[in-house]
Structure formats: structure tokens, C-alpha cells
Amino acid sequence: MPAPRPMPTLPSRRLPPLCLAVLACATALPAQAQQPDVEQLRQRLERLERLAGVADATPAQGGGLADLDQRLRILERRLELQEDERVAAARLAPRIAIDQKGASFKSGDGDYELKLRGLLQGDARVFIGDGSANDGFLLRTARPTLEGSLGKRVAYRFTPEFAGDGATIVDAYADLRFAPGHALRVGKFTSPVGLERLQSSAALVDVERALASELAPNRDLGVQLQGEAASGRFSYAVGVFNGTVDGRDAVAGNPDGDFEYAGRVFLEPFKGSDGAWAGLGIGLGASAGRKQGSGNNFLPRYRSPGQATFFSYRGPVLAAGDTLRWSPQGWFYRNGFGLQAEYIVSRQAVARDARRRQLQHSAWQATASYVLTGEDAGYRGVTPSRPFGVNGGLGAFELTARYGGLDVDAAAFPFYADPDTSATRIRSWTVGANWYLTPNLKLATNYLQSRFGAFAGSTRLADEKAVFSRLQVSF
């Protein structure tokens, strides 16, 4: 009997397991194989073909090693195609991820994504002294967030707020990415003026925002061009908005038909370097527009760090013309040390009866922090390197201190503001400690104290002293 012909040469790529099993059977056949051995190999090959779905259940009759060789080649090729299809299907299959940053659902090509995130903040507030504020517990923030992308060009974010007496919309916008690092944003989002206003509330080192944020606009409706260049060392934002009062969100519409123009440039000249100044950032934000009308939608009220109103305009006063804000700002982060500072001026034309006046208010703040456990401080918060309960970790600990003030234009008194209920200025300081148990859980405690100034001959408002504690869950 002639020697059996050699088995086919294997391709260099890894073969599927079924094909390897067939080859193992074939190579085990002795050089002088007898007919019963060939028949046994044929039966094994038929079973593998049926399992692989490349042949029906009808057994093939006859044929020798040449026939088996041909069938083996066919089986090998079919299994390779099936493996290619499986890999392609896996590449296109949606991917689901759940981690400390929330839940993410992403298409196989990565172009479409849905992220579910959230922020919960619950406060305990105790006031010291004879002030009129009440002690108690407060659900400060309850915000689920949906964000992601719709293809390579469109990103979106939607954030409702359920804390308080009713649900509101905090963020609702879409970004058109027309070039790498540059986008056009449309919807409701934070106006690009104040440094601390643009910082996520989850990343604040103190429980409440500083006095400078009382003069900066919060969220507004509009369109904004934004982007960055030079590897992130330079960023910009410029937009057109309906316009909102100092320290507050815009209302749903544009009640006076006037617009506000806002912009910001920020420079981090040493970002990405190894030098001591790598964490330095400086910038300037500004806005200009017009407001015409009366009430809280047109004129601001200013709050203390304890969230008590210490300045408001008299009822007959109207917003009556040009508005202007400008704010130099900056930060410096180095290892565990963080420093953030800003100064802001807000001008507003007001009128009462036949009298008109351009009033100018100003505010400033400086906030310092230091992480005791070795983690880096940053504008986006602190992430503990040894989370609580993991391999004996205790989390990260941070100490904070802040000082700031707000000065009301003296020309506001007594005609435009009541000196018996409104202060001419405020000076406030805060000290605190933060415990970051995990990347998602934070405990914060602040002691804050504020002192108010009074118009000549008027009674000064009582000092504000309070202890605020906050439990924060974010993901």
C-alpha cells in the first residue's frame, strides 16, 4: 500500500479549536495506516463537520486520504471565516461599563455613547448666636445627569435638579464638534465669566461658593463658541446669551428682548511641564449687555456664605440700561497645595422715578487648601489614593481656608436700597476639613463667620456664625 500523502501545511494564524482537534487526529495516523484507521478518522471528521455546521448529517462514503485532506481544508477555511465573523461582531457589539464614574453604554465603534452620572448633597446647618436663620437639615443637591455623544460630531448633556420645592433643569445643551478641540455649544449652561461658577459643585473645597460668585452670572440660555489650543495651555469661550442677574440662573425666556455677550480666556503657560509652576493658571472673564425691567428677573439680591440675603433693591427700582462685568481670576496647584482667587466687578444701570444711576459693586475671594495624605489638589477635586476600607486605607484628608468680601456701591443708599435691611459690605472667612472616603463619597465640615457693614446712622446686621456639614455622593 503506498504511503499516505502528507497533510496540508498549516497557515501561520491561530486555528480554531475544532480544526486543531482534526489535525491532531490526522497527525496521529501512522505512516502505514490501515483502512480501518482511515475510516475511523473519516467518522471523527464527519462529527466535527456536523458540530461546526459545515456538513449535513448524511455520512459520506468512500474516498481515501485525498478526500479527507480536501474536506479538512474546507473545514479549516470555514472555521476561519466563522472566527473572523465572531471577531467582527464582537468589535461592533455595544460595550457596557460601570465604575466610580457612573454607568456608560457605548457602541462598538465608540461613536455613540450614553453616560449616567449623579450628584447628591445633604447638609446639616447649625447657626450660632441670635441670627434669624434656622438650624436644620437640607437636601442641597439631587441631580442625575445624562450625557454622551451622537456620532463623532455631536455631544450632549441633560441635568435636572430635584432638590428644593420643585424640579428644574440645570443643564441642557448640545455641542457641535466642528474641529478637534473646538465646539459650538447651544442650550442652557454656565456663562463663561466666574472662575468658581464654572467649577463643579462636587469639586468645591468649601460647602458653599464664595462671595465673588454672587456677582458672576450662573446658568444662562444661549450659544457659545469654545475650545482650546497649544495642548490645552490656552482655552477660550465666547457667546451670546439671554442674560441673567448676578449669581442666579436665567429664566426660561428673554423677558426684555435684550442680549448679553460673555467671554473668557484662560492661560496655563507651564501645563504639562515638570517645573514648579506647572499648576499655574490665569484668566479673564467678562460680560456686557442691557437689562430693562423690575423684579428678581432683572435685579439681583446678594447672599452671605450662610445663604442669607443681605442686600436687595427697593421695590420701585428698575434695571434701566447697560450692564458690565469683568473678572480677573487664577489658580495655582502644586502637589497637595491649592490656591484659587478671583476679583469681579458688576455694573448695572438702575432707575427710580425720574432718577437714574450707574451702580458698581465688587467682590473678591481667595481660597487655599492642602491635602494631608499625599494626593494632588486640583480644580476638579481630590481622588483618594487609598480609599477607605480597601487594604486598610483611610481615604484622603484636606484642610481649607477662605477669606473674601463684597462691597455694595455707596450710591445705592438710601434711595435705591433700604439701609435698615441691606448691608453696605460684607467680610467673611471660612475654615474647614474634608474627608474623601472614596472617589464617590465625601464628608465636609465648615465653620464660617461673616461681618456686615452699615450705612451711616443705620443698624448693622448681626454677625453670621454657622457650622455647615455636608455628605456628598457623586458618580
- CATH number of the domain that residue 202 is part of: 2.40.160.10
Q: How far apart are CA 431 and CA 184, in angstroms?
A: 39
Of all residues in the chain, the percent with pLDDT exceeding 70 is 89
Q: Both 273 and 401 in a single domain?
A: yes
The C-alpha atoms of residue 107 and residue 85 are separated, in whole angstroms, by 18
Q: What is residue 29's predicted lDDT score, i.e. its pLDDT?
A: 44
Least confident of 14-18, 323-327, 395-399, 414-418: 14-18
Q: Which three cell numbers stand for residue 314?
A: 427697593
Same-domain pairing of 65 and 134: no
Tell me, yes or no, whether 168 lies in a domain.
no
Q: Which one, of 71, 28, 66, 65, lies nearest residue 52 by Cα? A: 71
Q: Residue 119 is which amino acid? A: L
Residue 419 reports pLDDT greater than 70:
yes
In a domain, 114, yes or no: no
| pLDDT for position 34 | 47
Statement to judge: residues 67 and 196 lie in one domain:
no
Q: Are residues 292 and 381 in the same domain?
A: yes
Read off the pLDDT of each residue in 448-471 and give the average, rounded to a whole number. Answer: 96
Mean pLDDT of the chain: 89
Residue 277 falls within a domain, yes or no?
A: yes
Is pLDDT of 30 > 50? Answer: no
Q: Which of 107-111, 165-169, 171-175 has the highest mean pLDDT?
A: 171-175
Q: What is the pLDDT, as a whole number, of residue 349?
A: 97
Residue 32, amino acid: Q
pLDDT at 6: 47
**Mean pLDDT in residue range 240-244:** 96
Please write the tens of the pLDDT for every residue from 360-394.
Answer: 999 999 999 999 999 999 999 999 999 999 999 99
Q: How many CB atoms sit inside 10 A of residue 113's CB?
A: 17
Read off the pLDDT of residues 197-230 as tens digits, 9 standing for 90 and up.
999 999 999 999 999 999 999 999 999 999 999 9
Q: Is residue 371 part of a domain?
A: yes
For residues 224 and 331, membership in a common domain is answered with yes
How many domains, the chain?
2
Same domain, yes or no: 226 and 309: yes
User: How would you classify the pairing of strands 425-438 and 441-453?
Assistant: antiparallel
C-alpha distances in Å from residue 97, one per residue of 107, 115, 120, 383 = 12, 9, 21, 20
Residues 58 and 131 placed together within one structural domain of the fold: no
Residue 96 lies in a domain: no
156 falls within a domain: no
Q: Provide the residue type at 337 as one letter.
A: F
pTM: 0.81
Q: Are residues 50 and 199 in the same domain?
A: no
Position 183 confidence tier, pLDDT thresholds 50, 70, 90: very high
Pair (61, 124) in one structural domain: no
Q: Mean pLDDT over residues 267-293, rounded?
A: 96
Report yes or no on 413 lying in a domain.
Answer: yes
Do 127 and 61 share a structural domain?
A: no
More confident residue, 283 or 32: 283
The answer to whether the Cα torsion of 296, 300, 305, 308 is positive or negative is negative
- Positive or negative, the Cα torsion across 276, 277, 278, 280? positive
Measured distance CA(31)–CA(4) in Å, rounded: 7
Nearest to 208 by CA among 247, 177, 166: 247
Indicate the pLDDT class of residue 15, thresholds 50, 70 and 90: very low
Are 322 and 287 a contacting pair, CB within 8 Å?
no
Q: For residue 185, tell me if it sits in a domain.
A: no
Are 73 and 203 in the same domain?
no
Domain match, 65 and 130 both: no
Tally helices (H) and strands (E) across the chain. 3, 20
Please give the average per-residue pLDDT across 165-182, as a whole number.
94
Per-residue pLDDT, 33: 42
Domain residues for the domain of 341 are: 119-141+192-474
